[in-house]
Amino acid sequence: MNSNTNNPTLILSYLQLRRAVGYIGIALPIALLAGKVIFEGAGIEPSISDYYYTKMGDVFVGCLFAIGVFLWSYEGYDEGPDNKVGNIACIGAIGTALFPTTPDCPSLVPKTSRLLVRCTLIVIYQARLILYRL
């Protein structure tokens, strides 16, 4: 038997990592809103991805990348679909960070192609939530 399988320090560390990712997901909208109020003044963006174009854009991208890296490395409890679904969710999270909503100002990327990529990534990311619950 592998000595790492019964190491409580590794198990505790892994559980703490999962908890930290959960805290990132819960705190992200609050941090984005608070940061926008502090740095740019009051106002709520229509979509969480719209914070990409505020001064909180780096926080938005960093948090989604942190969640994406965790999801890629997550193997689940058994040989079930957890690893595959985690990898798909990783692509959705990182893709959402790289392809945010179209800004109000004109962009080099046509709105329709950006919208298509964005909707696809949102569906992938949300499918992860459904599949993890099964």
Question: What is the model's pTM?
Answer: 0.68
Specify the pLDDT at position 108.
45
Q: Where are the domains of the chain?
A: 3-133
Summarize pLDDT for 78-126 with one digit per residue, the tens: 666 777 777 888 888 888 888 777 676 555 445 556 666 767 777 776 7
d(CA 20, CA 56): 20
Q: What does DSSP assign to residue 56?
A: T
pLDDT tens per residue, range 20-78: 888 888 999 999 999 999 999 888 888 888 888 888 989 999 999 988 888 888 776 66
Helix (H, G, I), strand (E, B) or coil at 134: coil
Structure tokens at 117: 């990529």
Amino acid letter at 34? A
Binned at pLDDT 50, 70 and 90, residue 1 comes out as very low
Rg of the chain (C-alpha set): 17
